[in-house]
Amino acid sequence: NKKAFIFDLDGVIVDTAKYHFLAWQKIAKSLNINFTHEHNELLKGVSRVRSLDIILELGNVQASQDDKDKWLIQKNEDYLTYLVDMDESEILPGVFKILQLLKEKNQAIALGSASKNARPILEKTGILSYFDVIVDGNDVTNAKPDPEVFLKAAQLLQIDPKNAIVFEDSVAGVQAANVGEMVSVGIGEKTILHEAQYIFKDFTVIDESFIEKLIN
């Protein structure tokens, strides 16, 4: 039985959520907008453009398109500085083991991320070759919670969305998986990801029997 296992990137495979937060916080500070960790949950899984709009809404700031474009570039340039020294040590606990297990069991593996920086991150961390298919922010027009990114991945793998399992750390991503009628697995806190079908605090607590259950 072959299933599609679709992984989100930021906050699921690598701990980049903290870098996105730091880079956005810099922009928010420069605009005198109070931007907390709680607010940051709203940005997880959300596209870069939409993230900026959410921050500006939080601060009730109106801005021209030119200014917005400038801040989007600044945010990404700052974010990229955190990625310069990135290596396999940034892969979150248990991820490597799960990828290996899925390979051994001959399952299809995809990336379904909103990020436009996905490929270099997979390259730097040395896990690019695990992925049969990569769908990222460069390939989609509708951001999560729209299921486009995951549907596209399943389609490329030629696997029915009902036979796809999505690992997500964001509320928007869990919702996208649910809308796409896929199995949603939340990676993170139960209080935040309660809409997910299954929730685990991280991959270290996902065992082989759970994966077996999903496959069969």
CB 5 within 8 A of CB 107: yes
Dist CA 144 CA 108 (whole Å): 22
Contacts with Mg ion, residue ranges (CB under 5 A): 8, 10-11, 45, 169-170
Nearer to Mg ion, 8 or 41 (CB): 8
Q: Is 15 a catalytic residue?
A: no
The footprint of ligand BG6 on this chain (CB under 6 A) covers a number of residues equal to: 19
CB 48 within 8 A of CB 76: yes
**Ramachandran assignment for 108, one of left (phi > 0), alpha (psi -120 to 50 degrees), beta (any other):** beta
Minimum distance, C-beta of residue 216 to ligand BG6, in the bound complex (Å): 30
Residue 148 binds which entry of Mg ion, ligand BG6, none, CB below 5-8 Å type-dependent: none
Nearer to ligand BG6, 115 or 125 (CB): 115
- Among 159, 160, 213, CA closest to 185: 213
Residue 122 in contact with ligand BG6, rule: CB under 6 A: no
Q: Is 10 a catalytic residue?
A: yes
Sheet-wide strand order for 108-112: 133-135, 108-112, 4-7, 164-168, 183-187, 198-200
Give the annotated binding-site residues for Mg(2+).
Answer: 8, 10, 168-169
Site for ligand BG6, rule CB under 6 A: 9-11, 20, 43-48, 51, 76, 113-117, 137, 170
Instruction: Give catalytic residue positions.
Output: 8, 10
